[in-house]
Amino acid sequence: MPWIFRDLFAAAGARMEDHLEPVRMRPLTRYTFADGTAFDYDSNLPGWLETVRPLVPADVDGFWRFLQLGARLFELLKDTFFRRTPLTAPDRQSPRALRHLPLRHGWGNYHATVAGHFKSPYLRQMFDRYPTYVGSSPYHAPATLAIIPYIEFEFGGWYVRGVLYSIVESLVRLMSAAGVSLRADSRVARITHDGKRATGVDLASGAHLDADVVVMNGDASCVPALLGSATAPGPRAADRSLSGMVSLMGLRHSLPDVAHHAAYFSGDSAREFHELFDARTFPTDPTVYVNVASRTDRSVVPGQGETVFIVANAPADEGQTWDAGQIADARARVFSRLGRGGFPDIESDAVVEDVWTPARIGAQYTMPGGSIYGTNSHGWKRAFLRPPNRDPRLAGLFYVGGSTHPAAAHPPCCSRRRSWRR
Ligand SMILES: Cc1cc2nc3c(=O)[nH]c(=O)nc-3n(C[C@H](O)[C@H](O)[C@H](O)COP(=O)(O)OP(=O)(O)OC[C@H]3O[C@@H](n4cnc5c(N)ncnc54)[C@H](O)[C@@H]3O)c2cc1C
């Protein structure tokens, strides 16, 4: 959704194109299934339909209908849910958007909707993965999340040359040029207030900063504790979104046959989601996503070699520490899935590896349980009534993080109060 980032740079008086080089990914992702079936997913429509037809010819029609459902959801939500909170009064745009109602299939169960549109087990497994983009299960999420595959197909998947972190670096440069003073590594221990409005923050270092406005970018569920409530319950384990088990690796040699984006699917999708959300254990046979940015951008590696990001979904941590044995076990399951999917044996070629567990993600970023996306989107209430962007009790206290309205992931986080029109 490059226009979201263009808007963000424009708000800072700059042009995105002067700072970033977005590259459209073609194909989007290489998908490999447990029985060895593999194909490229491409947002080039004729090419993609040629991939679908041999799987199950009727799924070509199913894909059209699924895309149309996503398109109608997008038209409905872009001027309503994405721009405003669901409980605010309608504005001028609302009637235009609401003509897309009633939306058959839009409010049921996501997995059932996917199964109703596709007969191919490969396409079902592929489209069932999209709710995990917001840390949720296809078996519990509303079909409204069909907007995610639509957005990806319609507007494309993008890489930012120099890797995603260059977005952060360019925003830091813009802020510095505008005279904004940044204090990285300054943990906020307390949001101070006078009972009516936020008055500033106490830092963990002991310093106090007065403020007219406090904007919370961390997980909103941490706010009661930051406001001084010793008894505020954290989110229930069952309400938390997914965390991840991540390996960041630098390889000595190049992998010319590996795709930039690739997903290796579990041999048993239903069991995987049951283990993640019901049993709350790391999956026996996880679906693994691999991102090799150096396949597109050689500037991110010195000479030969590759930079490899590997992630498998993991349940949010519930206080258990990930000891060396658990990490080794989870890592072995990840590499077993990759090996069975034909991914090259890279372990002996790694010059560096950094492993991130849910516990480490949680501790580093103050995310309860390492939940990446705040609460999950199970049921329409949790999907749509996320914490609002303005505190209902304290003036001057705002929320912008991925745990709040409208959703997690980079475009929603960068789009608060900005336009979702293309
Ligand atoms: C492994 C992984 C893969 C992902 N893949 C994708 C992807 O492919 N596409 C996508 O769009 N999104 C992806 N995401 C999700 C995306 O990173 C998040 O949704 C997004 O970063 C949320 O942005 P944010 O600004 O709300 O919060 P964050 O980026 O989490 O920033 C919040 C910041 O606040 C800081 N903070 C919290 N509490 C305090 C405190 N008390 N004092 C001071 N600082 C504090 C944290 O340390 C953190 O730096 C991924 C996330 C992970 C972990």
Hey, whose CA ends up nearest to atom 32 of ligand 1?
218
pLDDT at 273: 97
Hey, whose CA ends up nearest to atom 10 of ligand 1?
409
350 residue type, one letter: A
pLDDT at 92: 59
* From 183, 226, 240, 413, mutation site for ligand 1 pocket: most ligand atoms within 8 A of C-beta: 413
Kindly state if the Cβ of 366 falls inside 6 Å of ligand 1: yes
The number of residues in the chain equals: 422
pLDDT at 122: 98
Q: What tokens were used for 368?
A: 């309860």
Cα 333 to Cα 264: distance, rounded to the nearest angstrom: 12
31-48: per-residue pLDDT in tens? 999 999 999 999 889 999
Average the pLDDT over 319-341 and give the result.
Answer: 92
Hey, whose CA ends up nearest to atom 25 of ligand 1?
401
Q: What percent of the chain has pLDDT over 90?
A: 76
Hey, whose CA ends up nearest to atom 23 of ligand 1?
402
pLDDT at 382: 76
- In the predicted model, is pLDDT for residue 82 greater than 90? no
pLDDT at 60: 98
Among residues 242, 371, 241, 245, the alpha carbon closest in space to that of 310 is found at 245
162-178: per-residue pLDDT in tens? 999 999 999 999 999 99
pLDDT at 257: 94
- In the predicted model, is pLDDT for residue 361 greater than 90? yes
Q: How far is the CA of 372 from the centre of ligand 1 (A)?
A: 7
- In the predicted model, is pLDDT for residue 154 greater than 70? yes
Q: What percent of the chain has pLDDT over 70?
A: 92
- In the predicted model, is pLDDT for residue 230 greater than 80? no
Average the pLDDT over 60-65 and give the result.
Answer: 97
Kindly state if the Cβ of 408 falls inside 6 Å of ligand 1: yes
Cα 253 to Cα 260: distance, rounded to the nearest angstrom: 15
Average the pLDDT over 390-395 and give the result.
Answer: 94
CATH architecture of 183-236+373-405: 3-Layer(bba) Sandwich (3.50)
The gap from C-alpha 270 to its chain's centroid, in whole angstroms, comes to 21
Kindly state if the Cβ of 62 falls inside 6 Å of ligand 1: no
Q: Which residues contact 244 (CB under 8 A, 6 or more apart)?
A: 311, 312, 313, 314, 356, 358, 361, 370, 372
Kindly state if the Cβ of 244 falls inside 6 Å of ligand 1: yes
407 residue type, one letter: A
Hey, whose CA ends up nearest to atom 4 of ligand 1?
409
329 residue type, one letter: D
Q: What would you measure as the largest C-alpha separation in the chain, in angstroms?
A: 66
Q: Is 317 in contact with 369 (CB distance < 8 Å)?
A: yes
Supply the pTM of this predicted model.
0.93
Task: Please state the domain extents for the chain.
Answer: 41-156, 183-236+373-405, 242-368
93-151: per-residue pLDDT in tens? 555 555 555 555 557 899 999 999 999 999 999 999 999 999 999 999 999 999 999 99
Q: How many CB atoms lie within 10 A of CB 281?
A: 12
Cα 158 to Cα 2: distance, rounded to the nearest angstrom: 8
Dihedral over alpha carbons 210, 214, 218, 219 (to 10 degrees): 120
Average the pLDDT over 242-266 and give the result.
Answer: 97
Hey, whose CA ends up nearest to atom 39 of ligand 1?
218
Q: Is 354 in contact with 247 (CB distance < 8 Å)?
A: yes
pLDDT at 412: 82
Kindly state if the Cβ of 135 falls inside 6 Å of ligand 1: no
